Structure 1
Amino acid sequence: MVKIIHPVAGGIALLTIAIFWLATALGELFGSVSTIVAIKSAIPWGFLLLIPALAATGGTGFNLAKGRRPKLITTKIKRTAACAANGLLVLVPSAVFLAFKARAGELDAVFYAIQALELIAGAANITLLGLNMRDGLKMTGRFRRRANARPATNKRA
């Protein structure tokens, strides 16, 4: 069961963060003020899905590792710790602050500075979680090159 929960929870977590990030970026680029307010107000509610998904991913990941510490597992653990720190210290406080500011109609310089920080930190977490997913697929054998695949050749005319 753990082998099913881990990738599903990880996929949900990665997808949720990506949706938060895309909604924010697209809202800022193309949306009205009311769209931005709606997005920033909705994101903290998304934590009700995201936080349990991240907890399930981390818990099942440690369970699957069970004392094994090959290089990929050690790397995944370090990335997971960086994601957790980034989320707890930057992303969650930023999201709550931005939701508060947006609902108050204060889309000022402070709002946009924190918004920029949140987008950078969110992109970092998407990257780290994506790398963890890639390494997890490698460890399960789902992400391998086919043996009969030929490398691309550089033909000159």
Structure 2
Amino acid sequence: MTPIPTETSRLPGLHAAAGALGLALIASFWLSTLGAELFGTTPQIVAVKTAIPYGLVLLVPALIVAGAGGARLARDRHGPLVARKAQRMRLVALNGLLILVPSALFLAQKAAAQDFDAAFVVVQLSELAAGAINLTLLGANLRDGLRMRQGRPALR
């Protein structure tokens, strides 16, 4: 007879799924933005920039679940790898709250009005840079999380 999964046994899977969803959403926002800006028409740019805030409805909870799940999983673990993952998540959260979410809302409003002025360009470039940073940080956390799960030491 198979034992009934407990909250603790499901937590690693939930944490991994939420983290993967967050990473995938950020990557899709970033790639869609870059593609629309480089190769798209004005209506395509408007469509991408006005759709991203709707994606935040999935992204923000996914990152909250990933961060909270990671914190819970790490409460009995110590060491530099766990500390680095926690520090990266703090940076991801700050970057998202202070730069990415406000930028997405600002750019959606400007794009809906087809107001592609200098402010739009500056905020768009800032958003792409901040998004690339978050992709890098979340990718590093994914890599280190897989190492932790497999019991392998970190490379650095």
TM-score (norm 1): 0.89
Distance (Å, rounded) in 2 between the aligned partners of 1:25 and 1:79? 24
How many aligned positions are there? 144
| Alignment-mate amino acid for residue 22 of structure 1 | L
The change in CA–CA distance for 1:104 and 1:142 in structure 2 (over 3 A counts) is farther
Question: Is structure 2 residue 143 aligned with structure 1 residue 134?
Answer: yes
| Alignment-mate amino acid for residue 95 of structure 1 | A
Q: Which of 56, 70, 88 is matched with 1:61 structurally?
A: 70
Structure 2: segments with no counterpart, 5+ residues? 1-9
- Superposed displacement of residue 108, structure 1: 1.1
Could you tell me which residue of structure 1 aligns to residue 92 of structure 2? Answer: 83
Q: Secondary structure at the match of 1:10?
A: helix
Question: Is structure 2 residue 61 aligned with structure 1 residue 52?
Answer: yes
Aligned counterparts, 1:19-38, within 5 A? 19-38=28-47
- Which consecutive aligned stretches of 4+ in structure 1 deviate over 3 angstroms post-superposition? none
Could you tell me which residue of structure 2 aligns to residue 95 of structure 1? Answer: 104
CA deviations on 1:25-66 (whole Å, 9 max, x unpaired) are 000011000000000000000011101100110111011012
Distance (Å, rounded) in 2 between the aligned partners of 1:142 and 1:94? 39
Distance (Å, rounded) in 2 between the aligned partners of 1:130 and 1:108? 33
Question: Is structure 2 residue 13 aligned with structure 1 residue 4?
Answer: yes
Alpha-carbon RMSD: 1.2
Could you tell me which residue of structure 1 aligns to residue 79 of structure 2? Answer: 70
Question: Is structure 2 residue 114 aligned with structure 1 residue 105?
Answer: yes
Q: Secondary structure at the match of 1:69?
A: coil
- Superposed displacement of residue 143, structure 1: 6.8
Could you tell me which residue of structure 2 aligns to residue 151 of structure 1? Answer: none
CA deviations on 1:60-83 (whole Å, 9 max, x unpaired) are 101101242211010000000000
Distance (Å, rounded) in 1 between the aligned partners of 2:99 and 2:12? 30
Distance (Å, rounded) in 1 between the aligned partners of 2:118 and 2:44? 18
Larger radius of gyration: 1
Percentage identity across paired residues of the two chains = 49
Q: Conserved in 2, the CA contact under 8 Å of 1:134 and 1:143?
A: no
Could you tell me which residue of structure 1 aligns to residue 25 of structure 2? Answer: 16
| Alignment-mate amino acid for residue 134 of structure 2 | N
Distance (Å, rounded) in 1 between the aligned partners of 2:122 and 2:78? 40
CA deviations on 1:117-154 (whole Å, 9 max, x unpaired) are 0000000000000000000001011878xxxxxxxxxx
TM-score (norm 2): 0.90
